[in-house]
Amino acid sequence: ETGNGLLKLKGDSKSPYFILTAEISSIYSHNGKTRRIHNILLAPSIEVVEKIIVALEKRGAKLASDGRPIVGIPSKEVLKIVLEASEKCMLIPAHVWTPYFGLFGSMSGYDSVEECFEEMSEHIYALETGLSADPEMFWRIPKLDKYTLISSSDAHSLPRIGRECNVFDLEEDEVSYDEITRILKEGDRKKFKYTLEYYPEEGRYHYDGHADCDVSLHPKQTAKLPKNKKGQALCPKCGTPLTIGVFSRTEQLSEREDGYVPKNVIPGKHFVVLEEIIAAGFGKAVSSKKVQEEYVRMTDQAKEIDILLELSEEELGKITGEETVAAIMKMRSGKLDIVPGYDGKYGKVSLFEEVIKKKKQVQTLFE
Ligand SMILES: [Zn+2]
Ligand SMILES: [Zn+2]
């Protein structure tokens, strides 16, 4: 621990700072419905974390079973527990639109922060957008204007750390747990520059659908389908209820036109994962040796975020080949064709398939 509420690796002067966070899944019954909600916890010290652990275990939680433990304690009670451990703790509802585990999810969520956290709602300052949604989708819902929107990696494996992230502008001596949580609580735009976002279509729950039947639907198509007694739209192939995606859910709660930008929002910048861009340029799989080697070579020479957003075409040319430069510039142009994800299946960026096809044509010319 470094004394500023953050941690560094022992004996590594270049170590990045780490903030103590955990995601916890609450499954419980509330107002006559089963709720499954994932929440992110932030804590200022290991001592506080230990207090939280003791309090959760007293309530019967088995925390050692999983990296993201499942507890039977309602979200509101978890919030009380962490604030009792320290007023500096924060609880941020995770990937709030995802159908099964989001605060606003179509399957087991709520329609508002207040419905979930009741008299404790004032202690919720921020919401996580999740991979299948971006800030623009929140901006259409007036009651969410007061929340700071964050984008985290929701990483369940190491390479995915930082796949979505929050970009702060801080001097080295300003970096501390207190400052980061202040920025989140106040939504300080001067310090919180932007979030780095997947194209929401790429996420696993953007459209409505039924994966087993390869059925993927735009909300307008879903609206035309027959429904069961519970009002759930049914899969046109097999008749089971569809998984209603993030796009539909935000449409349901939207009160403003698509494209509305409220005052003082923190913008989101969209990008495609660098390994995918390299793969597209080469016309190879992300997991291929060539792509992985090029990824390591490039990120040894420059910061990944600079490669994606900042470096000029000329500067990029100095650290990588023309295929990758071309693919990065295409990504930055934003002119992408994306097949949206649905019912747990990731979306696909198909603009790069064009690049791949062209490359194959060139190859066949010379074979
Ligand atoms: Zn989660
Ligand atoms: Zn089906």
What pLDDT digit, counting tens, does each position of 309-338 carry?
999 999 999 999 999 999 899 889 888 888
Tell me the CA–centroid distance for residue 222 and ligand 2, in Å. Answer: 13
Tell me the CA–centroid distance for residue 228 and ligand 2, in Å. Answer: 14
Tell me the CA–centroid distance for residue 23 and ligand 1, in Å. Answer: 7
CA–CA dist 360, 228 (Å, integer): 47
Note the pLDDT of residue 106.
Answer: 86
Note the pLDDT of residue 200.
Answer: 87
Closest ligand to Cα 103: 1
Is the model's pLDDT at 47 over the cut of 80? Answer: yes
CA–CA dist 314, 329 (Å, integer): 11
What is the rounded average pLDDT of the residues 292-316?
93
Note the pLDDT of residue 39.
Answer: 96
Query: Angle of helix 274-282 relative to helix 322-333, nearest 10 degrees?
Result: 120
Note the pLDDT of residue 365.
Answer: 47
Burial zone of 280 (CB within 10 Å; 0-12 exposed, 13-18 middle, 19+ buried): buried
Tell me the CA–centroid distance for residue 245 and ligand 2, in Å. Answer: 15
Is the model's pLDDT at 352 over the cut of 90? Answer: no
Tell me the CA–centroid distance for residue 38 and ligand 1, in Å. Answer: 5
| Three-class secondary structure of residue 365 per DSSP | helix
Tell me the CA–centroid distance for residue 202 and ligand 2, in Å. Answer: 21
CA–CA dist 253, 255 (Å, integer): 7
Closest ligand to Cα 210: 2
Is the model's pLDDT at 350 over the cut of 60? Answer: yes
What is the rounded average pLDDT of the residues 263-275?
89
Note the pLDDT of residue 181.
Answer: 97
Tell me the CA–centroid distance for residue 303 and ligand 1, in Å. Answer: 27
Note the pLDDT of residue 353.
Answer: 56
Q: Catalogue the long-range contacts made by 294-299 (C-beta closer than 8 Å, 24 or more residues apart).
A: 294/320, 294/321, 294/324, 298/274, 298/324, 299/274
- CB-CB contact of 5 with 178 (8 Å): yes
209 vs 163, higher pLDDT: 209
What is the rounded average pLDDT of the residues 134-159?
87
Tell me the CA–centroid distance for residue 327 and ligand 1, in Å. Answer: 31
Would you state the structure tokens that stand for residue 346, as one six-digit string? 């990731």
Is the model's pLDDT at 366 over the cut of 50? Answer: no
Over residues 203-237, the pLDDT tens digits come to 899 999 999 999 999 999 999 999 999 889 999 99
In the chain, where the domains are located? 20-202, 208-244, 274-341+349-366
Would you state the structure tokens that stand for residue 86, as one six-digit string? 């320290």
Residue 150: name the closest of 40, 67, 259, 45 by CA. Answer: 40
Tell me the CA–centroid distance for residue 89 and ligand 1, in Å. Answer: 19
Note the pLDDT of residue 234.
Answer: 95
Tell me the CA–centroid distance for residue 132 and ligand 2, in Å. Answer: 21
DSSP letter (8 states) at residue 44: S
Is the model's pLDDT at 356 over the cut of 50? Answer: no
CA–CA dist 329, 324 (Å, integer): 9
Tell me the CA–centroid distance for residue 224 and ligand 1, in Å. Answer: 31
Of 3.10.450, 3.30.460, 3.40.50, 3.20.20, which CATH number belongs to 20-202?
3.20.20
Is the model's pLDDT at 367 over the cut of 70? Answer: no
Closest ligand to Cα 212: 2
Tell me the CA–centroid distance for residue 227 and ligand 1, in Å. Answer: 29
Averaging pLDDT over each range in 154-163, 182-191, 248-257, which range is the top one?
182-191
Mean pLDDT of the chain: 90
Q: Name residue, tokens 């969520």.
A: 109
Is the model's pLDDT at 363 over the cut of 90? Answer: no
Q: Name residue, tokens 């470094």.
A: 2
Burial call 217-252: b when 16+ CB within 10 Å, e when fewer = bbbeebeeeeeeeeeebbbbeeeeebbbbbbbbbbe
Tell me the CA–centroid distance for residue 101 and ligand 1, in Å. Answer: 7
Which residues are in the CB-under-5-Å shell of ion ligand 2?
Answer: 210, 213, 235, 237-238
Closest ligand to Cα 208: 2
Closest ligand to Cα 225: 2
Tell me the CA–centroid distance for residue 102 and ligand 1, in Å. Answer: 8
- CB-CB contact of 209 with 132 (8 Å): no
Which residues are in the CB-under-5-Å shell of ion ligand 1?
Answer: 38, 94
Note the pLDDT of residue 140.
Answer: 93
Note the pLDDT of residue 67.
Answer: 80
111, containing H or E segment: none
Closest ligand to Cα 154: 1
In sign, the C-alpha dihedral spanning 85, 152, 319, 360 is: positive
Tell me the CA–centroid distance for residue 128 and ligand 1, in Å. Answer: 10
Note the pLDDT of residue 228.
Answer: 93
